[in-house]
Amino acid sequence: MTSTGPTAPYALARYRDGDSTVLGVVAGDRIRPVSSEELGAPDLNAFLASGDWSSIAALADVEDGWRPLGDVTLTAPVQPRQVLQAGANYRQHVIELVAAGLTQNTDRTPDEAREFASSMMDDRAANGEPYFFIGLPACVVGDDVPLVLPSYSEVHDWELELAVVIGREAFHVSREDALDHVAGYTIVNDITTRDLVFRKDMKEIGTDWYRSKNAPGFLPTGPFLVPAQFVQEGELNVRLDLNGQVMQDASTEDLLFDIPALISGASQTMPLLPGDILLTGSPAGNGQHWKRFLRDGDVMTASIEGLGTQIVRCVSEDAA
């Protein structure tokens, strides 16, 4: 199946050409290679640091050198040096999780539990801080790579997320200035092995994000990098279908901490570098909610409004 392209007048993608990977400009249903000279920079991250998309806009109007998008194999459109991930960041999703815990452990009714959880989230949004952890850039792959499900667990889960692609370096930036450091946006599916999230040998240690989220290929990314100027990041539909059945369907309007807050918060500790990706959290509807986890042969179709479609095929480690 061919990935559905972005709705922007132009975007960037990377595609396979033999043993090489080529940067290309996408316009409609066609793609054209971009040389370093045309890019005006030695590589993609250097280009993103410049913040100047005029060279790409000009290439979108060039008549020669185009190929049908369906004739190439797209891969991850970014090459991040750092991957930051935001957790518990869709308001309604977190409210439901907190409320479920409250109804199990107290005598609150479901409505009372949701009301209490809502007030907790309002207070967190007003006075709290985003929750971050880090992923491994080596896990970033395109949807051209099948998702191999490791044999050590049977509870591998999906988490569709809007990903911010950093442009100019961001360090100690304010919320007001944060969007000036965004080059664009892409799609990421943050795969998680649920039974490895919490340590069993010493519960006091807490979560183990390294083992639960960093197996090979656990960050399917792309296939397009859409310039920020064409994306209304605060009101995008986020949807994931599993074998044609809708599992996640939400809007980024429900983000507890919006994108300026996330960028500003993450930049207070470490500089965010050109090309880095910042995942913004995943809405309700993952496998843990449905009590249904990924299996050999599953196909995940993930779309974020305006950013195109990502199609990931799952294969068991034994089959691979």
Phi, psi of 63 (to 5 degrees): -90, -25
Phi, psi of 265 (to 5 degrees): -60, -45
Q: Which two tokens stand for residue 173?
A: 């930036």
Q: Which residues of the chain have pLDDT under 70?
A: 1-3, 100-105
Runs of H (alpha helix) within the chain = 36-39, 44-50, 54-59, 91-105, 110-127, 209-213, 259-267, 287-290
CB 11 within 8 A of CB 224: yes
Provide DSSP, 130-167.
-EEEEE-GGGEE-TTS-EEE-TT-S-EE--EEEEEEE-
Provide DSSP, 195-249.
GGSB-SS-GGG-B-HHHHH-STT-EEB-S-BEEGGG--TTS-EEEEEETTEEEEE
CB 205 within 8 A of CB 166: no
**Exposure pattern of 58-77 as b/e (b: 16+ CB <10 Å)?**
ebbeeeeebeebeebebbbb
Tell whether pTM > 0.85.
Answer: yes
Nearest to 162 by CA among 306, 301, 281: 281
Check residue 1 and give its pLDDT: 37
Q: Which two tokens stand for residue 233?
A: 């990041």
Residues 188 and 85: their CA atoms lie apart, in Å, by 11
Q: How many residues does the chain have?
A: 320
Check residue 268 and give its pLDDT: 98
Backbone φ/ψ region at 214: left (φ over 0), alpha (ψ -120 to 50), beta? alpha
Q: Which two tokens stand for residue 151?
A: 């044999």
Check residue 137 and give its pLDDT: 98
pLDDT tens-digit map of 58-79: 999 999 999 999 999 999 999 9
Residues 192 and 89: their CA atoms lie apart, in Å, by 16
Distance of CA 44 to the CA centre of its chain: 19
For the chain, the distance separating the N- and C-terminal CA atoms, rounded to the nearest angstrom, is: 20
- In the chain, domain spans: 11-75, 83-88+130-316, 90-129
CATH number corresponding to 83-88+130-316: 3.90.850.10
Instruction: For residue 18, count other CB atoms closer than 10 A to its CB.
Output: 6
Check residue 102 and give its pLDDT: 66
* Residue type present at position 275: G
Going by their DSSP bridges, the two strands 140-141 and 219-220 should be labelled as parallel
Q: Which two tokens stand for residue 200?
A: 């069993």
Provide the 3-class DSSP secondary structure of residue 303.
Answer: strand
* Residue type present at position 302: A
Check residue 14 and give its pLDDT: 98
Listing from the earlier edge strand, what are the strands of the sheet with 20-27?
67-68, 30-33, 20-27, 11-17, 74-75
